[in-house]
Structure 1
Amino acid sequence: MPTHYSFSLRLLTPKYWPTWFGFLLLAFIVNILPYLLLRQLGYIIGLLTMHILKKRYRVAKCNLKLCFPEYSENKCGRIVKKNFQYTGMALIETGMAWFWPEWRTRRISSVIGKEMLLKQEENNRGVLVICSHHLNFEMTARIFSQFAKGYGVYRPHSNPVYEFIQHRGRTRNGHQMIDRKDIKSMLKVLKKGDRLWYLPDHDYGPHNSIFAPFFAVEQAASTAGSSVLIDATRCAVISGVTVVENNHYTLHVGNDLSNKIERRNPLSAASILNQELENMINRDIPAWMWLHKRFKTRPKGLKDVYS
């Protein structure tokens, strides 16, 4: 079931001091500066990163051209620049989500459409909450914790201090975490009527993948795990994505998609979820994690798009 990481004295050894210092500095900055300055700082960090991670700049531009072939070179360049600004802000938002007091989060956030999600709890029905790798995802999780706590699927960090702080930051408001390899616990959570946060929008490699349409890419590697979870538990399938407008975070909760998904049909599940992910990304295209090699896994015989 959910993982738990406790503090130990070995985390205080000198080799971990830089990690402690980095997070202490982040916690100090996000709690001492006003939000508008934090956003400016995040954007500056992002633009500096853009000049360093030139390979990722090319990856992001390639992804955009594949998904939106109608976009001009200049338009793709503008979106990628904005994407890097959001990437820098993601660092700041992680600090906000993990270290801010509750009143400060509530002051700049709101939720639209939460009724459908809460209705499932009344029926004791589990919910697979479909989220995307929007760069403000940590804030999305924090906003969800205000009214709908649940279990997040994640990858534990190899640095034990990072993992200790990450786990504490994500669980201190009521959420719990499950290792992404622990399928048994995911199924148990959904069967007992709880919520499971799940991000099926990345390329997780050829193992347990199926090729389904994603924007203009007809065969994008998509996880088949979604179908396994849905078929085995008959859970509701509801999306959630946060959009930032006028310095305000609005979480948009979708309708139940489970009745659209054919049982025991991984392609149907992947296709429906990819369509929903497209809708989520279209709310703010530059805010998605375009720097990820989304189309690294290719059908047999097709060349690498990033070479």
Structure 2
Amino acid sequence: MMSETVPRPAPHTRRRMSDESFITLLVAGVAVGLFLFASLMVPNFFQVQNMINLVTNNWAVISLGIGVTFLLVSGNFDLSVGGIVALSGVLSVWFAQAAGDGNPLSVGLGLPYPLALACALAGAMAIGALNALFVVRFGIPSIIVTLGTMMVARGIAQVITHGSQRNTNLPPEFGYLGNLSMFGTSVKFAVVLMAVLLLVAVFIEKRMVFGRITYWIGTNPVAATLSGIDRGWHITKLYLFSSAIAGIVGILLASEFKSGYSNRGTLMEFDALVIALLGGVAIAGGFGSVIGMFFGAIILAVVTSAATGLVLSPDWQYILKAIAVFLAIVAQTWALARRNR
């Protein structure tokens, strides 16, 4: 009897890399290319410590980008994170400051430090709950809602600080978390926490039903609802998740600088949005990844660091950021269209 041979699949039927993986690799390649180009243009740019600094100096924006990415994938915006950073930091200081009489900026509620942090985080998540209420319950566009709550959060912080900052009469342990170094190195706890959040986010995105549901909602919200998915509750959890991350960032920054400052986190919401878009996250939802966002953050960090090394004014840095975002979106759209032609 003649042995049967299994036919090989035709070339067009073989498994192909997904568009999402393709864009992620493209963004990673752009990040590496930009770094090499900057190394040629900027003296002493190509150094190991500078590579590390590109991540460690941007831990706050990368952390915020995780929550913003999940919401963008679901078809929603979160522009409130910068205001939440300011609010949670100011609240953590105000709650921890000793009670009594005296200078209004030196008197707080005198709560035990762990309780002060918990209450500050609860205040941050209250803004996330407010976002979800107006987006889910009342159907107001998320970009409008989160712009409003961003101003509300920052306004509350300004009221508490009287337009200044609170940095006195704090317990000795207040600055511990923000300045804690890990593993006997100069790497701070905040950077390690960012790395853990990234790994958890990637696991949720790739391996858990929660991540798949986020993509389904962003791709076709009507079909997701008809399939039995509680879209409103899912989006609510995403807003609570994003606000919790922003609250933690604000608390750590307040601890690092031992002060509550109402202008802290200004424009961080736009940087978080920019790195998500640079990383290939679709502004209309249903497409993108946390890893892509991370490489988008590296692109933005390289552009900013190179501009600083070339002694360009902050105005030019804004222009370079805008050009980088525009070129990245155009290149990604062109590459996808050419690939799927």
User: Where is the strand percentage greater, Structure 1 or Structure 2?
Assistant: 1
TM-score band w.r.t. shorter chain:
under 0.3
User: Where is the helix percentage greater, Structure 1 or Structure 2?
Assistant: 2
Name the TM-score, length of structure 2 as normaliser: 0.24
Name the TM-score, length of structure 1 as normaliser: 0.26
